[in-house]
Structure 1
Amino acid sequence: MTKEAFEGKLNALVPQPDPEITAALFAFGQELGQEEAYDGVRELLNSMSFVSRHFSAVTTQSVYEIIQHGSAALPGEMVAAAVYLENGNTLQDVAEMADLGMLMCFHCPRDMEELSPLALCVVTEGGHSRCFHTLHFGAFDPDTALRSARQYAHDRQISVTDALLSLTTDMVLDANGGAKKILVGGDPDMTQALSAVFSRCPAAAARLTFDADRSQTAVEYNPLWLELRQKQGPAQSGMQLTV
């Protein structure tokens, strides 16, 4: 992608584009492409487009400006940065988090039209509820996931909650499944932040409930996410709604 094309697309996404910041982001994207062997410029655009559609204008502007405050946020860190900024963290806070590697490997949008696959997840077992989040909303069926987790829990004599925390999107139990695991259990700060912004923006698509005691699941959609999905159209969203 040419510098001119990048500038035109990026400047259309932010409320107050700045020539120096845009140029710095283009250079950063080119550097990523050389170091990581992928299209860093396009990845940055994908992430900024995601942020501009799922978060407030103030948050979008702040994510754009992170590069002025120390370490630039990687494409896979921009969405995480946006969640924290939307929840009230300062730009300096988030820049420091990026510098410390606290935002790494969150979510890297696949294209400029992607709808958020982030969702809150509540697991109830033994009368107690625990909150997590997922990066894979729409990529697995909640009922199938709960049935699989219950079977694994029975076979391996573990809790259903622990089974869900090790379950991957292809319904395989793998404690080392990494990014393929349907639940993120080791980042309570992000779960709390997503919960706090749930009603303010479409960043979190839904709140899923896995009730192991009753063998039931439920999906509470974020109305703002549904509104965004309708605007983009089902063909663009690539997601099927879960009843």
Structure 2
Amino acid sequence: MTTNPSALVTDAGGEEPAALFTRHDGHVGVVTLNRPRALNAVNARLSVDAGAALEQAQADPEVRSIVITGAGRAFCAGADLKELAAGNRVDDVEHPEWGFAGIAQHWVGKPTIAAVNGFALGGGTEIMLACDLAVIDETAALGLPEVRRGLFAAAGGVIRLQRQIPMKIALEAVLTGEPISAARAYELGLVNRVAPAGTALELALELARTVAANAPVAVQESKRVMHVTGSAGSDWEREVWRINKQAVDVVFSSEDGKEGARAFAEKREPKWTGR
């Protein structure tokens, strides 16, 4: 399917999902938050649909990398405050383990790339922090303004930000609630690319295609090992090397591992099977 997610500008209603999965260029999956008139603010339905879309992308054997973006002019405006004010839940009651928006605590083995196409303060920033890579529109900003509303960034902001940028910079962002510009986010290493206005999705898809061109087994094991060992106290700990050895056994015995060596010897492009 080659539907352009940026064209999904009709608010979810009736049969229209609040988030959906499409496939691009064969091996790239796109999960689009689809409540544009609400700036893709998260209600229960979006959490259900986004979580399901991620599951669909993970289960699709043709998908090797996943882009997460928003329809319309926003990435995600955070929780739907109207729903919260009415006393309604905004999570997926069937899958609370998936966290905010069905994404924040939803592990998938395939690499995820946030295409931050617009407004992304609060929960939008927390979705971005949950992704492996990020591309941001030059006009967009990140930030965790929750303390200005008597709240705190409970969907991963206070957990993940200091793991991705220096502690004092993270504390400043969290304690002041001030926004972080796209240029500053790149300077801090919080995002991988800054896209010219209106091209965040395009640039994210390009990055996703680069990832998807590599061996799926090797890519997914590399992601797993980096995440699992990231909190280790030292790279000399036996446990991190045990985890690394598990990945070695999987990757080097895989069909893709053998194909890579054959293709190199035969001076041709490898044909990956994901096995």
- TM-score exceeds 0.5: no
TM range (shorter): under 0.3
Q: TM-score, normalised by structure 1?
A: 0.25
Higher RCO (CA < 8 A, seq sep 6+): 1
**Larger proportion of helix:** 1
Q: TM-score, normalised by structure 2?
A: 0.23
